[in-house]
Amino acid sequence: MSASEPLVLGIESSCDETGVGVVRGTELLANAVASSMEEHVRFGGVIPEIASRAHLEALVPTLRQALDTAGVTMDDVDAIAVTTGPGLAGALMVGVAGAKALALATGKPLYAVNHLVAHVGVGVLEGGELPESLGALLVSGGHTEILRVGSLTGDVELLGSTIDDAAGEAYDKVARLLGLSYPGGPVIDMLAAEGNPKAIRFPRGLTLGKFMGTAEEPGPHRYDFSFSGLKTAVARYVEDCRARGVEVPVADVAASFQEAVVDVITKKAVLASQEHGLRNLLLGGGVAANSRLRALLAARCASAGIGLRIPRPGLCTDNGAMIAALGSQLVSAGVEPTGTEFGTDTGLPPSIVSLPAA
């Protein structure tokens, strides 16, 4: 095995994407993804059992596709990595079972890795090694977190997270309220471009002084998010329009809602970075594709003198390459593999980058 450029296969199944990626060092060789998103559309959100069934169907075909694309066989692979959490229990279990079976059959070492940290680790596939003094902002349908990344393989700290809905989840729920399609992110982003973001002043969750406190004496939720009140405010606004027989100004609601989400996320991410002396920020997760989030974050990072790194969209959404990329970093850092005795952990904190051997 080449310690500097290990060939690692990564498996991801924490939500509705079955992903298998192959990475050599920091070079991306394959990123095969099968999504069950279409099957969730009529429900307006991910249905765990449907996602889990789809993972089982897609697992081996996706594995085969990734190896074919990479032009390697399992014999060539140095190690296997798999998402062990956080995520949906039934969904995680399919990938974990498959990865353990693969490790047993091939005798390759297996790393059980953290999904959130892998969203940061994927950064090495574009631009190589991650900068020092790094923070990460992860925004997706299941997550909204700010991390301090001292070392990708051993020092990750959760600075803030949502206390209720994830940002992407809020987009889905608001899209449903407005009678728009699932997933909500892209369609709201598109409509928002035609609306006035200042038309309606929707609440910014957890931004009051009692939650924020000061840098010296931080409040209980200085870097945390809440989107459930925002969702309720949008619902009330829409109901009120209907009660008054007024047409809902969909574009203005979309733009104003999006502004409320993005304003808080970017402000708190920059604040956390500044107060922890972090000079670089990586944006990850499916909502990283949102145009307003990218624009406002770029502007606020620039004003604050923070370097911003955003992997390309296909690497921001859930995928196996990010799991492989983190696995490769763990191998290079000499971290011991997990073995095959572990289970899934739906609430795995980002401070645990990979599970230790049992």
Partner 1 sequence: MREPTAGARAAGRKMAGVRLLSLDTSSVVSVALLEVSDDAEPVIVSDALGTDTHRHAEDLVPAVRDALAAAGWERPDAILVGEGPGPFTGLRVGLASADVLAFAWGVPVFGLCSLDGLARQLAPAAGGEFIAALDARRKELYWGRYDATGRPLGGPQVGAVSTLPAGLPVAGAGVRAREAELSAAGTPVVAGTEDTPVSAAHLALAWLAAGRPEHAPVARYLRESDAVAPASLAPSAGGVK
Q: 5-8: which pairs have CB atoms within 8 A and are 24 or more residues apart?
A: 5/328, 6/78, 6/79, 6/328, 6/331, 6/332, 7/72, 7/76, 7/77, 7/78, 7/79, 8/77, 8/78, 8/79, 8/80, 8/81, 8/324, 8/325, 8/327, 8/328, 8/331
Q: How far is the CB of 50 from partner 1 (least distance, A)?
A: 5
Q: Does 288 help bind partner 1 (rule: CB under 8 A)? A: no
Instruction: Show the binding pattern over residues 161-190: x = contacts partner 1 (CB under 8 A), - = does not.
Output: ---------------xxxxx----------
Q: How far is the CB of 309 from partner 1 (least distance, A)?
A: 34
Total of chain residues touching partner 1, rule CB under 8 A: 46
Q: Does 44 help bind partner 1 (rule: CB under 8 A)? A: yes
Q: Does 247 help bind partner 1 (rule: CB under 8 A)? A: yes
CA distance 320 to 65: 12
The answer to the question of whether 128 is labelled as a binding residue is no
Residue 73: C-alpha distances to residues 8, 9, 77, 104, 267 (Å): 11, 10, 7, 16, 46
Residue 85 or 142 having the CB closest to partner 1: 85
Q: Does 355 help bind partner 1 (rule: CB under 8 A)? A: no
Residue reference for tokens 């992903």: 19
Among 38, 68, 71, 104, binds partner 1 (CB under 8 A): 104
SS3 (DSSP) at 12: strand
> DSSP letters along 233-245, please?
HHHHHHHHHHHTT
Q: For residue 217, which phi and psi values (nearest 5 degrees)? A: -125, 80
Question: Which tokens go with 229?
Answer: 């009140």
The answer to the question of whether 143 is labelled as a binding residue is no
Q: How far is the CB of 94 from partner 1 (least distance, A)?
A: 5
Site for partner 1 in 47-66 (CB under 8 A): 47, 49-50, 52-53, 55-56, 59-60, 63-64
Q: How far is the CB of 43 from partner 1 (least distance, A)?
A: 5
CA distance 314 to 311: 8
The answer to the question of whether 290 is labelled as a binding residue is yes
The answer to the question of whether 76 is labelled as a binding residue is no
Q: Does 96 help bind partner 1 (rule: CB under 8 A)? A: yes
Q: How many other C-beta atoms are found inside a 10 Å radius of the C-beta of residue 305?
A: 9
Q: How far is the CB of 306 from partner 1 (least distance, A)?
A: 39
Site for partner 1 in 215-244 (CB under 8 A): 238, 241-242
- Point out the annotated binding site for substrate: 138-142, 172, 185, 189, 290
Residues that bind partner 1 (CB under 8 A): 42-44, 47, 49-50, 52-53, 55-56, 59-60, 63-64, 74, 89-90, 93-94, 96-106, 176-180, 238, 241-242, 247-248, 250, 340-344
